Structure 1
Amino acid sequence: MSEENTTNNEAAAAEGKAPAGFGIKRVFTKDLSFEVPAGLGAFSLQGQPNVGQDLNTQINRVDDTHYEVVLKVTVTVKMGEDKVAFLAEVHQAGIFQVVGIEGPQLQQVLSTACPQILFPYVRETIDSLAVRGGFAPVLLPQINFDALFVQAVAQAKAQADSQAEADA
């Protein structure tokens, strides 16, 4: 694998292009929220906890080689059917340097590798918020960002195809 990278980097250098590279410049919490809508009543709620998770990624170009990727995760813990015990929202961000990667490959790196790097920070923050809020720990399951990306690309293609058929 490293021989392939060396060969690709040498070829890029011969063509006058910068060799492909990826780096983490900074990881930070951009926004954070923890709510207990029922107040003190949340601690007397009965029932099996139901953990819901909403995930979103936002990509912002900072300059030619730097991108800000924000992983937004909202976790809602309900007791029973619809009684919200607590809601935690974390916007974990990172500044990433990407050189020599373009087009669909760049989109894939920004949509998969960057969120994969940010997710452990989100998991720890959500868990810490729950415990500090007086609730049981919440350990979010791992997420396969590669599979989510493939699914999103396939869904976008299917929508484009159906739109093209509707226009024809």
Structure 2
Amino acid sequence: MHPIQLRDIFVSSLSCVVNDWVAAKDFSGEIDLSIQSGVSELTPGDSNVAVGIKATVTSVKKVNDKSIFEIFVDLNGQFEVDLERFKFENLEDWARTNAPFLLIPYVREQVYGLAMRAGISGLILPLLVQPRMLPKK
């Protein structure tokens, strides 16, 4: 088992604005995807770290200068670290680079579910490939 485990996921906010119901119902096309992440303050000896993700998904195609839809997801993951097996000095790098990739499937799930409930068909976020990260020596 990896020394860092995801313990909880909290969805802080979900929202969807549909500006053109007809176009959303039969949506096919490109999207703009913006993802931001942040990490809680890390304290030596504290085995918990929170990582937040904010995602915005909009259609590239515009109708009357507005995206067909806009979806916003804000969630955070609570991770527990076995500090005997994972060096604290590597934790910030891990939390900023690896943790967001672990949370992306949950963002995808929220976007897809909200889009379906809002009547936006055909919206699936792309899979993201995590680059290989080697520990600092």
> What TM-score do the two structures reach when normalised by structure 2?
0.75
**Structure having the larger proportion of residues in helix:** 1
Structure having greater relative contact order (Cα 8 Å, sep ≥ 6): 2
Report whether the alignment pairs 1:136 with 2:118. no
CA contact 1:62–1:68 (8 Å) conserved in 2: no
Shift of 1:83: 3.6
Q: Which amino acid aligns with 2:47?
A: T
1:13-52 matches, within 5 Å, as 21-36=3-18, 38=19, 41-44=20-23, 49-52=29-32
CA contact 2:62–2:68 (8 Å) conserved in 1: no
User: What is the distance in 1 between the residues matched to 2:10 and 2:97?
Assistant: 18
> What TM-score do the two structures reach when normalised by structure 1?
0.63
Q: Call closer, same or farther: CA 1:44–1:138 in 2, change over 3 Å.
A: closer
Q: Give the root-mean-square deviation of aligned CA atoms.
A: 3.0
Q: Call closer, same or farther: CA 1:133–1:95 in 2, change over 3 Å.
A: same
User: Partner of 2:69: helix, strand, or coil?
Assistant: strand
Query: Any stretches of 5+ residues in structure 1 without a counterpart?
Result: 3-19, 151-168
Larger Rg: 1
Runs of 4+ in 1 over 4 A off after TM superposition: 44-48
User: Partner of 2:93: helix, strand, or coil?
Assistant: helix
Quote the sequence identity (%): 25
Query: Any stretches of 5+ residues in structure 2 without a counterpart?
Result: none
